[in-house]
Amino acid sequence: MEVKTLIDAIAFAADKHRNQRRKDADASPYTNHPIALAGVLAVEAGIDDIEVLIAAVLHDTIEDTQATREELTERFGKSIASIVAEATDDKTQSKEARRALQIKSARTLSAKAKLVKLADKICNLRDIANHPPADWSVQRKGEYFAWAEMVVAGLRGTHSVLEELFGAAYAQRVAL
C-alpha cells in the first residue's frame, strides 16, 4: 500500500461526503473532518502506518454515506475495511445505544481502530470547542465532552501522544 492509495481514499471520502456539511455555524464541508483525523495522526502524533491513515480518512463512509464494507474491501482491502467497520456506529440503533456501545467496545477494538477512534474524539472535541454546532447549548457540549472521556477511558494505553492531545482538547471544556 502506498501514498497513491491514501490519495485515492481521500478522493473516495470526499466524493462520498460531497453533499454533507458539519453542524458548525459555517456549515463547513464534512470532508474537512476525515482529513483532520489523518492530520492529527500523521502530523501531530507521528503515525505513518498507511492503513491507519487510510482508515482515518474513510472512518465515517460506512456510517454516514451509502458506502458499504464490501465496497471498501474491494477498493482498499480487507484490513482497511475491517478497521473502518470497527469505528462505525450502527445507525439502526438509537443514539443512546450507540454511545453506550462505544464506551463498552472501546477496550476491545484493534490497535489500529483505537488510533482512529482517538483521533476522531480529538477532532470532535476541538470542533465543538472552536466551531460548535450552532444549536448546541453549553450543557449539550459538556455532555459530549463527558461521553467522549468515557470512550477514551477504554482506549488508554494505546498511544501516549494521542492521549496527551485528547487531554489538551478535553481541557477546552472549561471555556465552553
Q: Which amino acid is at 97?
A: A
SS3 category, 133: strand
| Marked catalytic residue, from 49, 64, 89, 163 | 64
Taking CB atoms within 8 Å and a gap of at least 24, the contacts of 79-85 are 79/51, 80/9, 80/51, 80/54, 80/55, 82/110, 83/51, 83/52, 83/55, 83/110, 83/112, 83/113, 83/116, 84/55, 84/58, 84/59, 84/116
Structure-block grid coordinates of residue 158: 494505546
Catalytically annotated residue among 8, 63, 71, 163: 63
**Active site (annotated) includes residue 70:** no
Catalogue the active-site residues.
Answer: 63-64
